Amino acid sequence: MVLKYSKQREMIKDFLMTRKDHPTADIVYTNVRQQNPNISLGTVYRNLTLLADIGEISRIRVGDGVDHFDADTSPHYHFVCTECGSVIDLQMKNLDEIVTLAGANFDGQIAGHVTYFYGVCGNCRKPVETAKTGN
Amino acid sequence: MVLKYSKQREMIKDFLMTRKDHPTADIVYTNVRQQNPNISLGTVYRNLTLLADIGEISRIRVGDGVDHFDADTSPHYHFVCTECGSVIDLQMKNLDEIVTLAGANFDGQIAGHVTYFYGVCGNCRKPVETAKTGN
DNA sequence: TAATAAAATAGTAATCATTCCTGTTTTGTT
DNA sequence: AACAAAACAGGAATGATTACTATTTTATTA
């Protein structure tokens, strides 16, 4: 299947590149629709899947039941806030060494790992402290 | 909300304890139904969620779109086969140290991490080698 | 430039896992 | 035995995602 240009795909990719949060398909849809009100949700899903398949974007699953997408395909880790659900990039070294640990007592072939972190993000912590000291 | 005994919940927990693979709700349903053909899928889901909430079982998400459940609640890691989809326990040390690495340049509070590994399991590799040498 | 085939789209229907709802049944306590 | 809280069965609803189909775009070739 030879890839052909599509204005919609370009818009989706361009939109993703402007964001460093990690939008869901629905958020991509509502935003791209502001430039092209006729775009359909199916087109957004199809192109996000296609772009992820050819490696131009990456699909992020952090256990919240919705796929997130990231124009930054370099290997890096994410943090999910259990309060607000935001997905944030982490600055840390790669952990591929843990694959060796995992493979030590295992008879299969380990190709990689998925890791993400969770907790309370900086924004969700601050409001509480403000309330404490603010009274 | 005070917990009350339920035959169905007991059957679900008992079934889970007999398995070291990591069944989905649907697999629990079809199996438990052999002892109690009247049990409803909703009951299975409700009890799996309840048991997970009170910590008697754990819910496992490995990005395949379906929740898996495990009667073994001790912290351990899983491997997912990209061929057959099976979820297998790994024997390896705990990796909580990576939380420190993740928190070093981050302003939020990291509570924990989720990690799983993927690749081809022992069973899915063997058939290929058999085919190679078998001709 | 017109013809053409493959790819992509819009719009909608379908799927699938999971949750919710409601009238009935169980459980546990008084 | 009476009662309230909890749980159930069965089915409807939800929400994310995929599939389908007739139409439009893209890219190539004559």
Q: Name the residue ranges covered by the structural domains of chain B.
A: 1-72, 75-135
End-to-end C-alpha distance for chain A, whole angstroms: 64
Pick from B59, B106, B60: nearest CA to A78: B106
Question: Between these two residues, B130 and A113, which has the higher pLDDT value?
Answer: A113
**Sign of CA pseudo-dihedral A31, A32, A34, A37:** negative
Task: Report CA-CA distances (Å) from B113 to A90, A128, B65.
Answer: 13, 24, 19
| Topology (CATH level 3) of domain A75-135 | Dna Ligase; domain 1 (3.30.1490)
In CATH terms, is domain B1-72 a member of 2.60.40.10? no
Kindly state the tokens that stand for B123: 């069973």
pTM as predicted: 0.92
Search chain A and give the residue with CA nearest B86. Answer: A108
Other beta carbons within 10 angstroms of residue B41's beta carbon come to 13
Nearest CA in chain B to A99: B117
Q: How confident is the model at residue A118 (pLDDT cuts 50, 70, 90)?
A: very high
Report the greatest alpha carbon distance in chain B. 64
Taking the CA of residue B127 and the nearest CA in chain A, the distance in Å comes to 13
Burial B46-69 (b: 16+ CB within 10 A, else e): ebbebbbeeeebbbbbbeeeebbb
Span CA (B103) to C1' (D13), Å: 41
Nearest to B108 among A108, A111, A119 (CB): A119
**Residue in this structure with the two tokens 């199916």, named with its chain if needed:** A42
Domain A1-71 has CATH 3.40.50.300: no
pLDDT in tens, B53-98: 999 999 999 999 999 999 999 999 999 999 999 999 999 999 999 9
Q: Do domains B1-72 and B75-135 have the same CATH topology?
A: no
pLDDT tens per residue, range A43-74: 999 999 999 999 999 999 999 999 999 999 99
What angle, rounded to 10 degrees, do the helices at A41-53 and A25-32 form? 120
